[in-house]
Amino acid sequence: MRAADVLLPAAIFIAAVLYSSVGHGGASAYLAVMSLTGLVPGVMRPAALVLNLIVAAIGTVRFARAGHFRWRLFWPFAVTSIPFAFLGGSITLPDVLYRRVLGLVLLFAAYRLWRVFQGSEGKLHTLPLSAALLWGAAIGVLSGLTGVGGGIFLSPLLLLAHWAEPKPTAAVSAAFIWVNSFAGLLGKPASLAALPAGISLWILAAAVGGILGAGLGSRRLPSLVLRRLLAAVLVVAGGKLLLG
């Protein structure tokens, strides 16, 4: 057995724990880990989406059972993000420039979440429907352009705009990621044929990590810890975009 056969599922497990604790699926982390093992993009992309579906589904259920899911926050973003994610996937921009700019934006969002919003719970604003629809479309395009899960854009938006507290944000983000990941696979069902033979072990690692992380995030971790975990996730994603 190669070292990669053990290290890859272990890395997927760790990523699933961290990302699921803040309502994310972890696709950007899975792609990063798989790229280090030399897998080709045709294998990486469908595999990451499948793992995303598993972890996001677990996160959605766990956060919803804990009473954190808010339909009114979810549907306006989802209804426009899904079709616009298809549109974003068809657009080609200068890759290096876009990844650098997006990486800086994510790092700035991480800084804001880490430093600024201590003790801000309770000061929420009503979500404007028009703004949610527009942001959903924009996030869909960004998701299609970058291949990064939409939750990594939705989570900081909900918190920075004071439209939701951390745990409802995690619950809505998990469901948001699931529908977009499903749409991504539905758009290219033939890509599932490229899934590797070892995908069952990866799914098991992601599922166990997702159960553990979502359980911690939905019931045990304080809101401040969740915000800082999300900031850490944004730093990882931003760094990957800047250095990749």
**Do residues 240 and 28 make contact, with C-beta atoms less than 8 angstroms apart?**
yes
Most confident listed range (97-111, 116-130, 168-182, 212-226): 168-182
Q: What is the mean pLDDT of residues 4-28?
A: 85
Residue 122 has pLDDT above 60, yes or no: no
The confidence score (pLDDT) of residue 227 equals 65
Residue 188 has pLDDT above 80, yes or no: no
Residue 217 has pLDDT above 50, yes or no: yes
Most confident listed range (114-118, 147-151, 199-203, 234-238): 199-203
What would the pLDDT profile of 62-89 be if each residue is shown by its tens digit?
999 999 999 999 999 999 999 887 777 6
Residue 95 has pLDDT above 70, yes or no: no
The confidence score (pLDDT) of residue 12 equals 92
Residue 6 has pLDDT above 60, yes or no: yes
The confidence score (pLDDT) of residue 119 equals 45
Q: What is the mean pLDDT of residues 25-32?
A: 81
The DSSP code sequence of 73-131 is HHHHHHHHHHHHHHHHHT----HHHHHHHHHHHHHHHHHHHHHT-TT-TT---PPPHHH
**Do residues 227 and 117 make contact, with C-beta atoms less than 8 angstroms apart?**
yes
Residue 226 — very low, low, confident or very high, per pLDDT cuts 50/70/90? low
Domain boundaries, the chain: 3-243
